[in-house]
Amino acid sequence: MTVTITAFERSPDGGKGLARDTRVRWALEETGQPYAVRLVSFAAMKAPAHLALHPFGQIPTYEEGDLALFETGAIVFHLAERHAGLLPDDPDARARAIAWMFAAVNTVEPPILDLVTVRIVEGDKPWAAERMPLVVERIHGRLRQLADRLGDAEWLDGAFSAGDLMMVSVLLRTRPSGILDQHPSLAAYVARGEARPAYRRAFADQLAVNTRPAD
């Protein structure tokens, strides 16, 4: 059954792979699933047709026959459950990999998203400069904890899993600020994720969209 995802017509990051369609593309590539991409403008994302797929008017969405999904964690989990390659067979290891997926979006990503909020959404507020170091320190705190747990392991819990896919995707968002490079073991962990052939294909495909000549 043909899978169709949505992505930005043109991502604000210009193709750095930080828009969240990249993690879904990556999961599709890891599991060997062909897919089509429907590009949407900011206006189209807020229009009724897209809101029917995504109640918050965002990308990415995932359509497969009668199934329509939103939320990257749910989409990656769906793919990981139905296809081999992203979750271990052992039930306990599987549960731990799923815990890492939740940790990525629920514990590590929120402080990272605050950085964008304070820079862009609240950038013109008189207290923005004062708030920034607090936000940055919260990110460092989380990354120190994550680095302690990762230690010198290759992946978070044994073999590469959907937990790593989500965590690497979330951590990538700290690179433009220079924060990631201050945690060398995590920077190396992210680089291992980026070196996977499936990630490289996903990255190249989103880059092609975001660097194509204007219509």
Ligand X SMILES: N[C@@H](CCC(=O)N[C@@H](CS)C(=O)NCC(=O)O)C(=O)O
Neighbouring CB atoms inside 10 A of 145's CB total: 12
Q: Counting contacts by CB under 6 A, is residue 20 touching ligand X? A: yes
| Cβ closest to ligand X, residue 20 vs residue 183 | 20
Q: Min. distance of Cβ 58 from ligand X in angstroms?
A: 3
Measured from the Cβ of residue 153, the count of other Cβ atoms closer than 10 Å reads 11
Is-contact 77 98, C-beta < 8 A? yes
Binding to ligand X by residue 58, rule CB under 6 A?
yes
Using omega within 30 degrees of 0 as the cis cutoff, is the peptide bond preceding 184 cis?
Answer: no
- In angstroms, the CA 161 to CA 181 distance is 23
10-18's contacts with Cβ under 8 Å and 24+ in sequence apart are 10/209, 10/210, 11/206, 11/209, 11/210, 13/210, 14/210, 14/211, 15/206, 15/207, 15/209, 15/210, 15/211, 16/176, 17/172, 17/202, 17/203, 17/206, 17/207, 18/172, 18/173, 18/176
- Under rule CB under 6 A, residue 61 binds ligand X: no
Whole-angstrom CA distances from 81 to 85, 130, 170, 184, 210 are: 9, 44, 21, 32, 30
Q: Which of 28, 53, 59, 98 binds ligand X (CB under 6 A)?
A: 59
How many residues bind to ligand X according to rule CB under 6 A? 8
> In terms of CB distance, is 51 or 188 closer to ligand X?
51
Q: Which of the ranges 52-60, 93-101, 130-138, 140-148 carries the binding residues for ligand X, by CB under 6 A?
A: 52-60
- Min dist CB 126 to ligand X, Å, is 25
Q: Which of 72, 161, 169, 210 binds ligand X (CB under 6 A)?
A: 72
For ligand X, the closer of residues 50 and 183 by Cβ is 50
Please tell me whether residue 9 binds ligand X under the rule CB under 6 A.
Answer: no
Q: Name the segment binding ligand X (CB under 6 A); options: 57-65, 77-85, 133-141, 168-176.
A: 57-65
Nearest to ligand X of 55, 178 (CB atom): 55
Is residue 71 near ligand X by the rule CB under 6 A? yes
Smallest gap from residue 184 Cβ to ligand X (A): 27
Binding residues for ligand X, rule: CB under 6 A, are 19-20, 45, 57-59, 71-72
